[in-house]
A = this chain, B = another copy of it.
Amino acid sequence: MDVFAFFNLNELAFGLSKLPMFPYFDMAHYIISVMSLREQPGALCVSQRSPLACWFSSMLYCFGGAVLSALMLADAPVAPLSNTTNLLLATLMWYLVFYCPLDVVYSLASLLPLRLVLTAMKEVTRTWKVLSGVSQAGSKYSDALFVMVAVGWAKGAGGGLISNFEQLVRGVWKPETNELLKMSYPTKVTLLGAVVFSLQQCRYLPIQTHHLTFIYTLFTVTNKTRMMLLGSSSHPLSSLESFLYK
């Protein structure tokens, strides 16, 4: 892509695509995921009554995508538990967010500047998860575009897609809502990502993987940051939607 060469972004894009997620980005993902669980109505009460249900719910928030995509591809959904280091890291974050003395960790991480940075880092992990889901599906079903989209979407937005069953763990049941009936912003942007990455992997999009990674990551991070700073729920996809539903 000439634009990349023009702005000397080639090396930056390549460097980004080699960025290791472990441990800092993973940690940001875990802490933001557990914080969004804590902000659900009734979650704090569950954390006092039943730490085990609370922990299991947190793990579904952190590893929901891995569990859902494993189920879809007939891999063992228990596999995330076999990655002991990541599991302990997520458990540590769960403990700190819910039970830290004086609530120091949650209070600190809720401060806007810090939360902004952590959320941006979490958005970066989304790209990696979508891409890994797409390639995992591609290695099992080569050139099956729809399978790749489905698995990439499931891996990137798993926590949201299984939210009905995650809530059930906490004793909450809201059958009238789900992410398919009314998609939230993260689910939408992940679906978009799954579609473009699948098209790229099937060679329908003439662009290199690390360039696409760079563009998509830039898009999600700036978008999310802008939404948090402006406190608005409007995003570039909104205008597209209102056009489509016109």
**Residues of A near any B CB (own CB < 8 A):** 46, 49-50, 52-53, 56, 70-79, 81-82, 84, 87, 137, 140-141, 144-147, 150-151, 164, 168-173, 175-178, 180-183
- How far apart are the CA atoms of A182 and B176 in the complex, in Å? 24
Is A81 a contact of B180 with CB atoms below 8 Å? Answer: no
Is A141 a contact of B171 with CB atoms below 8 Å? Answer: no
Contact of A81 among B79, B146, B171 (CB under 8 A): B146
Contact of A151 among B78, B146, B181 (CB under 8 A): B78
A46: B residues at CB distance < 8 A: 181
- How far apart are the CA atoms of A77 and B151 in the complex, in Å? 11
Given contacts A78-B147, A147-B78, A147-B81, contact A175 B172 (CB under 8 A): yes
Is B72 a contact of A73 with CB atoms below 8 Å? Answer: no
Is B164 a contact of A171 with CB atoms below 8 Å? Answer: no
Given contacts A49-B181, A74-B70, A180-B50, contact A144 B81 (CB under 8 A): yes
Given contacts A168-B178, A172-B175, A180-B169, contact A144 B82 (CB under 8 A): yes
A144: B residues at CB distance < 8 A: 81-82, 84
Is A71 a contact of B77 with CB atoms below 8 Å? Answer: yes
- How far apart are the CA atoms of A74 and B75 in the complex, in Å? 6
Is A77 a contact of B72 with CB atoms below 8 Å? Answer: yes
A145: B residues at CB distance < 8 A: 84
- How far apart are the CA atoms of A124 and B53 in the complex, in Å? 28
Is B78 a contact of A181 with CB atoms below 8 Å? Answer: no
Ordered by A's residue number, 8 sampled pairs between the chains whose C-beta atoms are within 8 Å are A52-B183, A71-B77, A73-B78, A82-B146, A82-B147, A84-B144, A84-B145, A84-B146
A182: B residues at CB distance < 8 A: 50
A171: B residues at CB distance < 8 A: 175-178, 181
Which of A73, A175, A183 has the most CB atoms of chain B within a 10 A radius of its CB?
A175
Is A82 a contact of B141 with CB atoms below 8 Å? Answer: yes
A50: B residues at CB distance < 8 A: 180-182
- How far apart are the CA atoms of A230 and B138 in the complex, in Å? 50
Return A103 CB to nearest CB of chain B, in Å.
20
A164: B residues at CB distance < 8 A: 168
